[in-house]
Structure 1
Amino acid sequence: MTHHIPLPDTRVAVLGALDLERTPAGVRPRRLPAWTRPRLHHGLLDLVVAQAAGVRLRLRTAARSLALGVHVTVPEMDGSPLPASFDLAVNGTVLSRVQATAGDVLSFGADLADVRLSPGHPETVRFDDLPGGEKDVEIWLPHGATVELRTLDSDAPLLAPTPPPGLAWTHYGSSISHGLEAPAPTLTWPAIAALTTGAALTNLGFGGNAMLDPEVARAIRDTPADLISLKVGINIVGDAAMRERTFVPAVHGFLDTIREGHPDTPVVLVSPTSFADLETTPGPVGLDEETGRKRALGSAGAGALTLTGVRTLLAKVVDIRADPALHYLDGRELLGPDEARALPDGLHPDPAAHLRMGARAVRLILGPHL
């Protein structure tokens, strides 16, 4: 007997999303609350908020087959649509991976305002031959796609979902945390760390947009968490978005807002991973067309930020605040200067580097708080 469930449904928990946008056919997860949407001034931020990095469905069932009805939208990258993989895990172990192939494709001109949509159509993502007996199932959504969830069919009833076994972990960061270079949603470094420890991840890694936006700080403030990590600096230096004069108060303000809702929650402030071009040269960053690698263009004037300078400033912020639950982590411990070959464009980690970063995050970020 097939059990057909229109989504959303209370028997299917949606984890890692802070908003479920209603659509005529279902629901679309978003990674910031609905109230923030009118304030997302930059179009790229709105796009990456809608991408489902770290978002997954959690359910309990004895089903041997599941079929998820979806409509995905993926952007083009380097002339090809990003892969849209759905990963199924049972009791924390990834057992199956299915690619969506029929959805919409977004193409962008040099100006992000020039967006072209090649329409696709809904499809069904099937998972068969699941283990027998009652089990906790998580279906991780494509981390680079916007996903409209429509229906779920199963060959056994769904029971009330159980909560994840580990701590509630909210992580904030840039494209390095969003993880578009990883080939599947469970292969980004935050997902690897979460699956290893059983943590309930909320991944607020926003490609190109870790800019200390106050709306994000308020969202983190209002989201239950046992552990919060904040990976700060690379986008701000890479876009030359701030000077030292504005960066330090912005970090303090971001932390102040989070502390309003989490006065005692452990917070790990993580400085940037290695990027040779920005270590001692300020941004902004441009793309070298000949090499395909990113390089620092340098900005003149007092207070221009480099990665070396940002690490010093973040460590000083932690020292000045004298907050026993606030900890500093040098991002080079996650991915160091001796691993430059793992950065195809000079900045973003390749899939193997995501695996190493995930293992290191277990030890350096989650491990001390388990």
Structure 2
Amino acid sequence: MDTPHVTGLTATPLTPDLVRGALDLERTAHGLLPHRLPTGARAQIPDGQLTMAEAQPSGVRLAFRTRATVVELDTLRTKNAYKGAPERPDGVYDLLIDGRLADRASTTGGNTLLVDMTTGTAETVPGPVGTVRFDGLAAIEKDVEIWLPYNEITQLVALRTDAPVAPSPVPEGRKVWLHHGSSISHGSDAESPSTTWPALAASLGGVELINLGFGGSALLDPFTARAMRDTPADLISVKIGINLVNTDVMRLRALGPAVHGFLDTIREGHPTTPLLVVSSILCPIHEDTPGPSAPDFASLAEGRIRFQAAGDPAEVATGKLTLTVVRSELARIVAQRAATDPNLHHLDGRELYGEKDHAELPLPDRLHPDAATHRRIAERFAEHAFVPGGPLAAL
């Protein structure tokens, strides 16, 4: 909830050692802005979609030890809104105490990015700093994590508590899992930041998450591969498919070399690190129909956001991509490379969410899973990847 400043609390400077899951922290006029791509990569971003997505702090959290019973965090958010569609819910802050969810809250105020899906234009409406407050905490030494909203750009302005704060170190022996994917990995339509499927899977697997899931932007960009190459990690996964199809950015001739190049770059920095390549979960509108995806304007007129495939299946013969095509190519490439790279593995995304799952839990907007499906994907990924003998065995 949004509350005014409460006297009796002490401010703690927001320093990098209090923040996990970000690759860079930018000093702004308001405070710290977490980024999930480094400065050099951001200089090469070609569009506003990725500029927005990488600054939305999916998987980013404050982590500290304290005896505090009250914690306040001032932030300046940027929330998305869509003309003609219902107002989107406020972003959620998850409070974890000693690794377990203890509370949730939201803030008000902040900026609004107002998007017109019919024209593709957007404008920013400015707003004030807001405060999220957690109180009634036990007055004992504890590890506190505040997971930031995955869907709101969040500038960290001030942290206040009623007891001293110290950075909470990563538990000794915990492996770092670096993951890259699309909006589904970013967290789209998950319940909260600690319940996106990568966050849940990391919790189940006992690993430390760095989430490079970027809404609309898992496009085999070389600067993303270089960021992964240069980021220390013990376990790596890349989820490839849906954005290549629904943005219609390349043809089959370009796909193979782009995948090879992306994996080659990662391997420059992580030559023997376990690396799992995951194809797209089931998405019926694009299984056999190319992109691009387009808003279903009939649904938008009814106040709902849904998508449809705007491509022509006949164009697959001339090299347009579908999920069926991309999955086949990924399986082929991984099998070829694994002959000389025993730490490279493949997972068909339909093992995480397939035909039977879609019959039970259809994608509400035809592209993104709901909260229950995020949980299912997380459980299946953890059971496949992180168990002893799995491709990303964490023990």
TM range (shorter): over 0.9
Which residue number corresponds to residue 335 of structure 2? 319
Cα RMSD between the aligned structures? 1.7
CA deviations 1:179-227 (Å, max 9, x no partner) are 2211311121111112223321111111111100000000000111111
Judge which range, 215-224 or 56-65, deviates more.
56-65
* Correspondence for 1:350 among 349, 366, 370: 370
How far does residue 8 in structure 1 lie from its aligned partner after superposition? 2.4
CA distance in 2, matches of 1:118, 1:283: 32
CA distance in 2, matches of 1:112, 1:15: 37
How far does residue 360 in structure 1 lie from its aligned partner after superposition? 1.1
Which residue number corresponds to residue 366 of structure 1? 386
CA distance in 1, matches of 2:363, 2:382: 21
* Correspondence for 1:286 among 289, 294, 315: 294
CA distance in 2, matches of 1:264, 1:9: 29
Aligned residues, how many?
368
How far does residue 145 in structure 1 lie from its aligned partner after superposition? 0.5
CA deviations 1:239-287 (Å, max 9, x no partner) are 2211111001000000000000001110110001001122122222223
Task: Name structure 1 gaps, 5 residues minimum.
Answer: none
Alignment check: 8 A CA contact 1:6 1:26 kept? no
How far does residue 164 in structure 1 lie from its aligned partner after superposition? 4.2
Give 2:243's aligned amino acid.
N
Alignment check: 8 A CA contact 2:57 2:149 kept? yes
CA distance in 2, matches of 1:275, 1:9: 39
How far does residue 168 in structure 1 lie from its aligned partner after superposition? 0.4
How far does residue 297 in structure 1 lie from its aligned partner after superposition? 2.6
Which residue number corresponds to residue 43 of structure 1? 48
Q: Does residue 259 of structure 2 align to residue 251 of structure 1?
A: yes
Give 2:310's aligned amino acid.
L
Task: Name structure 2 gaps, 5 residues minimum.
Answer: 1-7, 300-304
Alignment check: 8 A CA contact 1:228 1:265 kept? yes
Q: Does residue 141 of structure 2 align to residue 134 of structure 1?
A: yes
Give 2:236's aligned amino acid.
I
CA distance in 2, matches of 1:169, 1:132: 32
Mapping of 1:7-156 within 5 angstroms? 7-8=14-15, 10=17, 12=18, 14-77=19-82, 78-110=85-117, 114-156=121-163
CA deviations 1:146-196 (Å, max 9, x no partner) are 111111111111224211463201111001111221131112111111222
Give 1:267's aligned amino acid.
L
CA deviations 1:321-347 (Å, max 9, x no partner) are 121111000001111122224301222
Which residue number corresponds to residue 346 of structure 2? 328
CA deviations 1:18-53 (Å, max 9, x no partner) are 111111221100110011122111111101111011
How far does residue 104 in structure 1 lie from its aligned partner after superposition? 1.2
CA distance in 2, matches of 1:252, 1:239: 20
Judge which range, 165-174 or 144-153, deviates more.
165-174
Give 1:114's aligned amino acid.
T
Alignment check: 8 A CA contact 2:117 2:295 kept? no
**SS, match of residue 386 in structure 2:** helix
Q: Does residue 232 of structure 2 align to residue 224 of structure 1?
A: yes
Provide the TM-score with structure 2 as the length reference: 0.89
Which residue number corresponds to residue 310 of structure 2? 297
How far does residue 79 in structure 1 lie from its aligned partner after superposition? 4.0
